[in-house]
Amino acid sequence: MMKITCPDCGFFRELTADRAPTRPVVATCPKCGCRFRFQPEDGACNLIEHGHPAPAVSPVHEDDPLPPGAIVPGRKVSESPAAPVGEEQPSRTEAKEHEPDADKTTPPENGDHANEEASRPTNRKSRARPAPDEESTPWDLAPRPAGYFSAFYQTTLRVMFGAERFFAHLNPRAPQFRALGYAIIIALFVPLSLYLWLNMSIDMLEQSISEANAPYLSLLRAMQANPLLFTFSGLMSLIFYAYIASVLLFLGFRITGVRHASFHIIFQIVAYSGAPLLLSIIPLGLYVGAIWSLASIVNGCRIALRLDWPRTLLGIAPIVLLLVLLTSSIPFPR
């Protein structure tokens, strides 16, 4: 038997050999809250901190309530073992500083993927935003991760201001309806913008068009009176242009010996190069957007097909010739 006595209030307990501590421990008296160091070698109890007397308890009852943080020799404690003789127990802050980095040694509970999902920021609709992917077309991933509008916006920015990165990573296995859907949105936006400007400037056009060109004025009036027909005709014209341009570019590059040119990649280039046509919402924006769109097609073919400028210009020669012929054959009002 081993007897442990509180040096402050004299409370004691006797422990059997199997329950007695085998090394010096810092204990707390369950009666007064005094803290003392007990040395099992000689049974000495050295006072560390005086306690405050608690209501009298009977030593017979083992389950009486103890002061907060009480450590009773002989009872199993789930916390870390006591400090050896001559060392004070470190505070919680000090102990945390000496602990190994939990982030480096402890694996996540639900795997790396769950940990990444939990740490990702979210947008205003609480949709997770993944890490930026510089090698994927956002429109091909829609509606992941943040919806179709965000994918359309990001794709448009990349086409207009990051063409080198965008066209270099077109996916040849992406479904064709993805690029077609993007082209349809652009093709709907352009005639709607033109109809808006037509309504705002129809009176000025009536004064500027001469009587000899009265059929043009009648056509403009018919367009203004039938917005659905105007929008549908503009939509079909732009989609038709996208496919015709893709076919001509495909044939032009194949004729000039670019065997790795595929219709699918060229159609993606033409469809996504329509992004600058969104400038039609501003005055004279349609003309700026058309020139920008043609430049994007040429630059996109060079980047996506990995060609030099001479072979690129030689491959687009058929479509340039066609545009010149069509432009020269269209009569314009004077």
Per-residue pLDDT of 258-290, as tens digits, reads 999 999 999 999 999 999 999 999 988 989 999
> DSSP string covering 286-302, please?
HHHHHHHHHHHHHHHHH
Q: At what angle do helices 176-208 and 148-161 cross, to 10 degrees?
A: 70
pLDDT the model gives residue 158: 94
pLDDT in tens, 104-156: 444 444 444 444 444 444 444 454 444 445 568 899 988 988 899 999 999 99
Sign of CA dihedral 217, 220, 225, 226: positive
Contact 7, 47 (CB under 8 A): yes
Distance between CA 276 and CA 87 in Å, rounded? Answer: 73
Distance between CA 266 and CA 170 in Å, rounded? Answer: 10
What value, to the nearest 5°, has the Cα angle with vertex 116 and ends 110 and 120?
Answer: 135
Whether pTM > 0.85 for this model: the answer is: no
How many helices and strands in the chain, by DSSP H and E? Answer: 13, 5
Distance between CA 315 and CA 252 in Å, rounded? Answer: 5
pLDDT the model gives residue 317: 84
